[in-house]
């Protein structure tokens, strides 16, 4: 399988080929995911929950993400790796540049930031300085205290229209990928059709250009609580490698996520 690049992801969208991605935090799983043809890996600040045992992503630092990014890079030297920029690590464009440099040096190909309009100058600044950016709209885990919990976003018409507008603005600012989290399928479809950059859904229905899941959720390891948009592929496949292959297969063929994993507007 040819190495994933930003250009390849754009071509996959243009040709209607679904993109299958997972979070990764260490060398062992990164190697497994690469062997199973996962298109890209995200070193998510979800490591706050899955690795550190915190109740949110807020305690995660850039140093934490850089450590795990280097581990993932060591396990999958040719993979396309995106690294999350943690809470308050990109409050200003200047700070974003300094913190993103740490993640790029650790082995990231791209950084991911949560937010809309207020990030436009930051994204322009990063891209001008050769740091590729993945944007993130919908449910923003770093903003959980402002949002009042983990809730589906963009259900009202005005909120949906605003999300579409922000998605277009983020693309115009230079973002080359967009994660949509916990939004109605109809909204994700609107955005995916309007953008030329790929959309990656998590709880955003099957109409996105690709999908991502937290690896622990995909394996059913967070059995005390599995979100609506999660499927336990390990239970179905019975083996870690086969579970990853099944996930990739079902994303590629469009059978995952199904209606039972999606939110209506």
C-alpha of 225 from chain center: 20
- Is residue 46 marked as binding? yes
Catalytic member of 94, 128, 181, 242: 181
Burial of 50 (0-12, 13-18, 19+ CB in 10 A): middle
Concerning whether 172 is annotated as a catalytic residue, the answer is no
Residue 109 to residue 113: CA distance in whole angstroms? 14
Lookup: tokens for 84: 């999350």
- Neighbour-count burial for 163-194, b at 16+ CB within 10 Å, e otherwise: bbebbebbbebbbbbbbbbbbbbbbbbbbbee
Asked whether residue 78 is marked as a ligand-binding residue, the answer is: no
112 is in an annotated binding site: yes
For residue 133, the Cα-to-chain-centroid distance in whole angstroms is 11
Q: Where in the sequence numbering do the catalytic residues fall? A: 181
Residue numbering of the annotated binding site for 3-methyl-2-oxobutanoate: 45-46, 84, 112
Residue numbering of the annotated binding site for Mg(2+): 45, 84, 114
Residue numbering of the annotated binding site: 45-46, 84, 112, 114
């Amino acid at each position: 399988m040819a190495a994933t690049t930003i250009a390849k992801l754009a071509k996959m969208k243009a040709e209607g080929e679904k993109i299958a991605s997972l979070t990764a935090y260490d060398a062992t799983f990164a190697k497994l995911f690469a062997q199973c043809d996962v298109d890209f890996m995200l070193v998510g600040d979800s490591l706050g929950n899955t690795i550190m045992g915190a109740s949110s992503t807020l305690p995660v630092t850039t140093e934490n993400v850089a450590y795990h990014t280097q581990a993932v890079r060591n396990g999958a030297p040719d993979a396309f790796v995106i690294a999350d920029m943690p809470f308050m690590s990109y409050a200003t464009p200047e700070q974003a540049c300094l913190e993103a440099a740490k993640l790029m040096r650790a082995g990231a190909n791209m950084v991911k930031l949560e937010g809309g309009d207020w990030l436009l100058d930051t994204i322009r600044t990063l891209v001008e300085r050769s740091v590729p950016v993945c944007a993130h709209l919908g449910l923003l885990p770093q903003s959980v205290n402002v949002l009042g919990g983990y809730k589906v976003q963009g259900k009202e018409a005005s909120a949906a229209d605003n999300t579409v507008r922000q998605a277009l603005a983020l693309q115009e600012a230079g973002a080359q990928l967009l994660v949509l989290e916990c939004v109605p399928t109809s909204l994700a479809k609107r955005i995916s059709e309007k953008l030329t950059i790929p959309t990656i859904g998590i709880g955003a229905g099957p109409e996105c250009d690709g999908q991502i899941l937290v690896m622990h959720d995909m394996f059913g390891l967070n059995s005390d609580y599995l979100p609506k948009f999660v499927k336990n592929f390990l239970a179905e496949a019975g083996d870690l490698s086969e579970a990853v292959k099944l996930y990739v297969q079902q994303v590629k063929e469009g059978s995952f996520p199904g209606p039972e994993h999606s939110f209506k507007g």
